[in-house]
Amino acid sequence: MAAVVWGRGFSRAWLRRSAGPGCGRHYRAALCTELKRPLAIEEVTPRPVRPHEVRVDVHFCGVNFADILVCRGQYQERPHLPFTPGMEFSGTVLETGTDVSTVKQGDRVIGVSGLNGMAEECVIDQKRLWQIPESIPLREAAALPASYGTAILALERRACTQPGETVLVTAAAGATGLAVIDVATNVLQAKVIAAAGSDEKCKLAMQRGAQSSVNYSQGSLKEAVKKLVGSGGVNVVIDTVGGDVFLEALHSLAWEGRIVVVGFAGGTIASVPANLLLLKNVSAMGVIWGRYKDQNFPLFSGSISSALQYCQQGRIQPYIGAVFKLEEVNDAFLHVMQRKSTGKVLLSLK
Ligand SMILES: NC(=O)c1ccc[n+]([C@@H]2O[C@H](COP(=O)([O-])OP(=O)(O)OC[C@H]3O[C@@H](n4cnc5c(N)ncnc54)[C@H](OP(=O)(O)O)[C@@H]3O)[C@@H](O)[C@H]2O)c1
């Protein structure tokens, strides 16, 4: 019978429960062994680095909505079981392969791995690492790649947001939402209307730079936006919720407005009524940050470099709402799924 394959071509023989002292070095990792079940924390035997790979001592790992969907079998990518989730992390370089020229031992790095980040160590291709400028703490750096990379590509590349334009962002107090507010207001000089599901979340979004807010759990988003901006509408919508929230936001667009589909956190994928696009010369588009890694790597890499640069320059400041320990990973997942989270949720591996 074929061996169970784990990660990128390494058999489960690399995964071992702790066998006690004297049996070699181990590190702890969160493991999804069965979809829709709580993750396990297991002791894992390190594997050797290949010539182009780097071993990173992981300090912080982002907890993304997508990580949870992967562990439920509800994401576009479906890795073989068992696997360790975690697509983005920060840490320091422990060891480099013989062909590695971009980083050296001790360097502080961000890694974008797709999987394997929710562990004390991660082996990753050197191309998936970015050096962290000295002034940015590892904690803040871990909050940048997915949320700010997505916000930057959604606002800058896809919607071509211009200074002075009005941006409506949904789930505005979430990880992507607050990153959108930060980039739109502090980098692009746009005005933001924050739409979120509670008064507390609206308040936070305002504190983080939004000019006005709408609590969409208390009535029609479309009517509330109309009260704020009149019948002219908003220039750009960045939507991570989907369903009726997406449709109401689509109705709120101005002439030549742009709506960017980022996600479906509410669980419903809406259909676009094509007449709405025609009537106001509106454009509906999507963004999937992670896929740029394969389709246009320079652009993908540029989104992370821009986030690091904006952060180093003090123009943006990631908001970290909660930090959980590795052994609390299931609580962290619940915190996000129960809509309790604000901003970025991180796992601390230290
Ligand atoms: N396309 C991409 O490249 C990309 C990149 C990053 C994220 N995403 C997607 O964007 C969405 C948000 O991601 P995120 O990391 O920003 O997550 P997040 O911070 O956890 O935001 C999720 C928020 O969505 C809202 N929401 C509405 N209905 C919900 C429901 N039924 N269950 C849970 N949350 C619900 C909640 O805010 P309220 O209470 O305010 O409604 C919740 O806090 C996800 O679908 C994710 O997969 C896509």
Give the DSSP letter string of 320-331.
EEEEEEGGGHHH
Q: Is the CB of 288 under 6 A from ligand 1?
A: yes
Map tokens 């990518």 to a residue: 77
- The alpha carbon of residue 215 and the mean position of all alpha carbons in its chain are separated, in whole angstroms, by 23
Q: Is the CB of 262 under 6 A from ligand 1?
A: yes
| pTM reported for the whole predicted model | 0.94
Q: Return the number of other C-beta atoms located less than 10 Å from residue 173's C-beta.
A: 30
Here the tokens at position 22 are: 């004297």
146-287: in CATH 2.40.30.170: no
**Measured in angstroms, how far is the CA atom of residue 321 from the centroid of ligand 1?**
14
**Measured in angstroms, how far is the CA atom of residue 41 from the centroid of ligand 1?**
25
Distance CA 195, CA 171 (A): 6
CATH code for the part of the protein at 12-142+322-337 = 3.90.180.10
Q: Is the CB of 326 under 6 A from ligand 1?
A: no
Task: Name the residue of 144, 262, 344 to mutate for ligand 1: max ligand atoms within 8 A of Cβ.
Answer: 262
Q: Is the CB of 188 under 6 A from ligand 1?
A: no
Give the number of the atom of ligand 1 that is nearest the alpha carbon of residue 75: 47
Residue closest via CA to ligand 1's atom 8 equals 263
Query: Any idea where the domains of the chain sit in the sequence?
Result: 12-142+322-337, 146-287
The per-residue pLDDT for 21 is 38
The per-residue pLDDT for 73 is 95
The per-residue pLDDT for 24 is 82
**Measured in angstroms, how far is the CA atom of residue 51 from the centroid of ligand 1?**
38
**Measured in angstroms, how far is the CA atom of residue 240 from the centroid of ligand 1?**
5
The per-residue pLDDT for 4 is 28
Residue closest via CA to ligand 1's atom 30 equals 266
- The whole-number mean pLDDT for each consecutive block of 10 residues of the chain, a chain of 350 residues, reads 30 38 79 97 97 98 97 93 98 98 98 96 98 98 98 98 98 98 98 98 98 97 96 96 98 98 96 96 98 97 98 98 98 97 98
Whether the CB-CB separation of 346 and 320 falls below 8 Å is answered with yes
